[in-house]
Amino acid sequence: MTGRPTPDESASIMAILEARRLCKTYDVDSRRITVLDQIDMQAAAGAFLVIGGSSGSGKTTLLTLLSGLDRPTSGEVLIDGRDISNAGEEELAPMRSRTIGFVFQSFHLVPSMTAKENIMFPAELIGDARADERAERLLQRVGMAHRRDNLPSQLSGGEKQRIAICRAMVNRPALLFADEPTGNLDTENGKIVLEQLIELKDEHNATLVLATHNPDIARAADRVITLHDGRIME
């Protein structure tokens, strides 16, 4: 015995995100519907992981479980070695604010806030005195400084998503989740948004976990896992 970890143990030690035997079921009338079944996966710090699969395969459900937005029926989700599967809201809320960023397909910007105010909002919630400075730097970084005072209704889809990415990154999260972030965009804007998302992720050494059915996006990833009917395809 050398005392050194096995390759599997080493991978687990290095993983910032891990799912173990993850299941999610729903009871509808007298039926039990299984959305995810026995999911085992890991993501290393700084990696770009794509969760692929057709519509209805369980991609979005897996993202919500991994990010703590929903709880699994059974199994574990570990973030930096810490099991969040049964954590209460008082424990999850600060983790979502500081450790996790989320980019949605439908942007979810606050309509009454300007672009800059939307970006600043998560930083202000945790009392970051540099919220304004961080938001301004991100606006400059994605070429949106000229839109800082515009409301979401005055922005194009691509511009909204770039603001949403900045908002997700303002607290410098270790984990960034993205659910079909280019799904509502045309090809050119989708390419720009993906490039900026990956660049910001690299600059902040964040782990990006992105759900998509787009094979072009999957080709840019460090690793791809594909879901089919709630299971990982080998």
Domains of the chain: 16-110+172-233 (3.40.50.300)
Q: What amino acid occupies position 37?
A: D
Token pair in block for residue 71? 């709880």
Task: Count how many residues are written for the chain.
Answer: 234
pLDDT band at 12 (very low <50, low <70, confident <90, very high): very low
Q: Which two tokens stand for residue 32?
A: 């039990």
- pTM score of the predicted model: 0.88
Residue with tokens 């806030």: 113
- Average pLDDT (148-169) is 96
Distance CA(33)–CA(26), nearest Å, equals 5
Whether 5 has a pLDDT exceeding 90, the answer reads no
Which band of pLDDT confidence, cut at 50, 70 and 90, is reported for residue 55?
confident
The percent of residues above 90 in pLDDT, for the chain, comes to 74
Rounded CA gap, 91 and 93, in Å?
6
The pLDDT value given to residue 211:
95
Q: What pLDDT, on a 0 to 100 scale, did the predictor assign at position 10? A: 41
DSSP strand E in the chain: where? 15-28, 31-44, 48-52, 74-79, 82-83, 100-103, 175-179, 207-211, 223-228, 231-233
Distant-in-sequence, close-in-space partners of 193: CB < 8 Å, separation ≥ 6:
158, 161, 162, 165, 181, 182, 185
pLDDT for position 11: 45
Q: Considering only residues 152 and 233, tell me which one the structure prediction assigns the higher pLDDT.
A: 152
- Find, among 83, 61, 12, 75, the residue nearest to 177 by Cα: 61
